[in-house]
Structure 1
Amino acid sequence: MLDSRRLRYFLAVADALHFGRAAERLNISQPPLSRQIASLEEDLGTALFHRNAHHVVLTPAGTRLQSDARDILASMARAEANARAAAIGESGALTIGFTMCAAYSVVPSYAKTFSTRYPEVDLTLREVLSSDLAAQVSDGTIDAAVVLAQAVPKGINQRTVVREQLCLALPRAHRLSSQRRIVPAALRDEVFVAASMDIAPSLRQAMLAQCEMAGFVPRIGMEVHLQQTILTLVAEGVGVALVPASMRKLQTSAIVFKSLPDAVSISQQLIWRATNSNPCLHNLLSIANPVE
């Protein structure tokens, strides 16, 4: 059976075509080198060198092995390097799930930073409903997820990575769109487009809390699952919405975003399974700094 030591010894002789000089390069004496070459020839069942008192010449089998041995040793070196890289998360695969809110907050910066630092890692991003992400982290479908703040199952670790205020999204033609300052109480008679409680409970609760602070219960005209859909409906004039401030990055001429005084805050968390041993996950955690 071929092994790396005997291949290295063979290449030293094949390159030097002299056992003495090859032994000097390998920093060993000549007799052990000769024994290793003889052992290799015996295992292969063929001579690799023609030897006489004055010359060492490669046989056809030796010439072929000289070429193959370089490839074999290079491949073994790459395999060792790849294994070490995988052990510290510099290669391999990582899957991150996220909600649409996270697509406009931290996920783009995570993806850019991680891909720059660890270009050999196969990074996959999956946009999933917030209510489904914890289950996918638990069953190992994804390694980590950025979710709206929520209670997570036992065995799931979490850290807060985003804390932002709600802002008001209005159709551009709305009567309030030109006002510099809008108080939440001015929305008392408005129809709201909102995330459903079962899909994004923390977002829905934040919206209700904002309205409660202003002394009214919002009139929900339509419930949807995705923030993109909420804003599409706002743009069409179906209603107004309270959305995370990061959604301002969704630039559209049909919507006006307004800050609110005493705006309620909402958080996003990075969650991951405590028993996940993927080394790439550790490197993601080094990027995803917690916020106070």
Structure 2
Amino acid sequence: MIALRDLHQFVILAEELNFRAAASRLHVSQPTLSETVKRIERTIGGKLLERTTRRSRLTPAGQALYEGAQHLLRDAEALTHEVRSVAAGMRREFRIGAVNPAMRTLVPSVLRQLHEQFPGIRLSLHPMSTHEQLRAMREGRLDVAVVRTAVQPRETRSHFLVNEPLFAVLPAGHELEPEPLIELPRLRDHTFIMAPRDRNPEFYDALVALYKSRGSAPDEILVAANMHAQLTLVGAGIGVAVQPLLFIDRDRSDVVFRPTPERLDVPLQVLTPSVPDVLADAFVDAADRQIRQLMERAGVADR
């Protein structure tokens, strides 16, 4: 097993890609840092770095360790903070996870209502992909999770919010902008902007299958890491997108959102622990009210 201290040193080295600079940040000697790397390499049975005279480069194994270690160290820090709080007699945090699109309007509204209803509660917010939240719920690191999936994990309660309607996302001034409703075949021959499949394989695959079933399978898919990058690419006229309700951003002047007749059976839902909890139930109620308002603003009646 790799020690947390060794992982911390490796993360700093991966950020610097220079032994001298990393050792300086860590306040250790370069030989000490080199020995740490060798110790980890012996544990995993492979090389982490390719070293040159001036700079180092991560191997695929090194990149995988770097990304995983960042999550692990953040979790360890959060655990330390939580245990210290409990030991000091402080109130335990109410930990909320959510997919990034929910962070724009849904979650802020729900947090505002929770804060008004429970002014003394300590809230912590954790943007995560759906599969990261499912794991965090299993491990007891979240109290509620806002996810987009048809999966209903065991040992949690699943609260359906909505099968989100889909909207065509177009650059401002696009020839289809005047249309009140856009059928997917009208988007044929465009480059489609999408999130990476590994962010939510279930949603990605369902969306691609929908394109194919409507005869609008894209010739080219351009991947952008998050919703902000996706909307930026659309706004720049590089492609179009088809996105669910929570992506709608009426404040942007470079993109327009037009309804389609489609929706996917990959619902937005809130997961809570199997044991009933007043705060979790209040979160679900507030989220349900906010979704109704968002649907009304989008001109969509049912869920």
Give the TM-score normalised by structure 1: 0.60
Superposed CA deviations along residues 90-140 of structure 1, whole A, max 9, x for unmatched, are: x65211111122124532221111111000001122212223111112112
Relative to structure 1, is the Cα distance of residues 138 and 258 closer, same or farther in structure 2, using a 3 angstrom cutoff?
same
**Partners of 1:272 and 1:288 in 2: CA distance:** 13
Judge conservation of contact 2:184–2:216 (CA < 8 Å) in 1.
Answer: no
Q: Which moved more, 1:128-137 or 1:103-112?
A: 103-112
Confirm or deny that 1:234 pairs with 2:237.
Answer: no
Equivalent residue, structure 1, for 2:199: 199
Q: Which moved more, 1:208-217 or 1:109-118?
A: 208-217
1:109 aligned counterpart, secondary structure: helix
**Partners of 2:247 and 2:117 in 1: CA distance:** 27
Report the residue type matching 2:237 in the other structure: G
Judge conservation of contact 1:206–1:264 (CA < 8 Å) in 2.
Answer: no
2:251 aligned counterpart, secondary structure: coil
Alignment of 1:158-169 (within 5 A): 158-169=158-169
- Give the number of the structure whose alpha-carbon radius of gyration is greater: 1
Equivalent residue, structure 2, for 1:225: 225
Relative to structure 1, is the Cα distance of residues 105 and 202 closer, same or farther in structure 2, using a 3 angstrom cutoff?
farther
**1:242 Cα deviation from its structure 2 partner:** 0.5
Judge conservation of contact 1:171–1:234 (CA < 8 Å) in 2.
Answer: yes
Relative to structure 1, is the Cα distance of residues 207 and 250 closer, same or farther in structure 2, using a 3 angstrom cutoff?
farther
Percent of matched pairs sharing the same residue: 24
**Partners of 1:209 and 1:105 in 2: CA distance:** 28
Equivalent residue, structure 2, for 1:101: 101
Alignment of 1:1-292 (within 5 A): 92-104=92-104, 106-249=106-249, 251-260=251-260, 262-265=261-264, 266-274=266-274, 280-289=279-288
Report the residue type matching 1:164 in the other structure: E
Judge conservation of contact 2:166–2:242 (CA < 8 Å) in 1.
Answer: yes
Judge conservation of contact 1:134–1:152 (CA < 8 Å) in 2.
Answer: no
Judge conservation of contact 2:172–2:255 (CA < 8 Å) in 1.
Answer: yes
Give the TM-score normalised by structure 2: 0.58
Relative to structure 1, is the Cα distance of residues 167 and 188 closer, same or farther in structure 2, using a 3 angstrom cutoff?
same
Relative to structure 1, is the Cα distance of residues 159 and 233 closer, same or farther in structure 2, using a 3 angstrom cutoff?
same
Report the residue type matching 1:203 in the other structure: F
**1:171 Cα deviation from its structure 2 partner:** 1.1
Unaligned runs of 5+ in 2: 1-90, 293-302
1:215 aligned counterpart, secondary structure: coil
Report the residue type matching 2:227 in the other structure: Q
**Partners of 1:121 and 1:152 in 2: CA distance:** 28
**Partners of 1:202 and 1:263 in 2: CA distance:** 17
**1:193 Cα deviation from its structure 2 partner:** 0.8
Q: Number of matched residues?
A: 200
**Partners of 1:279 and 1:264 in 2: CA distance:** 32
Unaligned runs of 5+ in 1: 1-90
